[in-house]
Structure 1
């Protein structure tokens, strides 16, 4: 029987606002680089960062739970003017956070 993949816990947030700004800036950079820069990318990055900040302010430290929250709440976002969807955004947030923690997102630690 295989072992389950262990969850990844982020360190407690000391400054959710600063983390949110970092995430918004880096997610926007990723969005613009992934396809082409679009005006909607700023709104996508801003909304994802808002969700992330609120979750962190509520004490959420589990990366998987953060990803689920972003997917769930981004479902109400209008992606009709974008190449992206809620799953791509949540996965990009996860990748950015793993990179920031120094964890190889491809093959684990």
Structure 2
């Protein structure tokens, strides 16, 4: 049996360190119960073909024991390139994120004043992470979530997690574009 990380958005009690989930990857029958344990807060760029359902209060990565065919092996942990942590590049990337996220938020539903503040908070959290040398996208996501928690989304179509996830998605696409060019 191989241990693999499954990227899922789940809500779990803060004090909890182990979980159970129903697992179905086509090889196990639906409802097969596997022990799950918290690995950390990481985001991965691809989803697995397996399905996890959890009754859930915070984003986590869970590990479970299951045999996977070689073609279904999970992706490696997603990290920002280390050269993006230099102060000048970090500032440039954070400014790019502010503009790109603001545009995405405006395009997704409608332009609204809250979009500017949401994009500023995510951009500031991203800059802080990069300048501190934090390259793990899961940690960056959690810093963005923390930066957005004190913001009132009453006047917005967006929420804390949808905004932070959109920012991470934009960063991931930018990394892929940089890698492809």
TM-score normalised by structure 2 residue count: 0.54
Query: Which residue matches 1:3?
Result: 4
> Do residues 63 (structure 1) and 64 (structure 2) align?
no
Q: Name which structure has the greater RCO, CA cutoff 8 Å, separation 6+.
A: 1
Query: What corresponds to 2:163 in structure 1?
Result: 89
Offset, 1:90: 1.0
Tell me, which stretches of 5 or more residues in structure 2 are unaligned?
A: 6-73
2:122 aligns with 48
Q: Distance in 2 between matches of 1:22 and 1:50?
A: 11
- Point out the structure with max Rg over C-alpha: 2
d(CA) in 2 for partners of 1:76, 1:90: 13
| Matched ranges for 1:71-82 at <5 A | 71-82=145-156
Shift of 1:49: 0.3
**In structure 2, C-alpha distance between the alignment counterparts of 1:35 and 1:67, rounded to whole Å:** 22
Residue of structure 1 in register with 2:49 after alignment: none
CA contact (8 A) 2:121 2:147 kept: no
| Aligned partners of 2:79 and 2:135 also within 8 Å | yes
Higher helix share: 1
Higher strand proportion, which one?
2
**Structure 1 length-normalised TM:** 0.87
For 2:168 and 2:155, how far apart are their aligned partners in 1?
A: 23
Alpha-carbon shift at residue 77 of structure 1 (Å): 1.1
Does 1:18 find its partner at 2:88?
no
Runs of 4+ in 1 over 3 A off after TM superposition: none
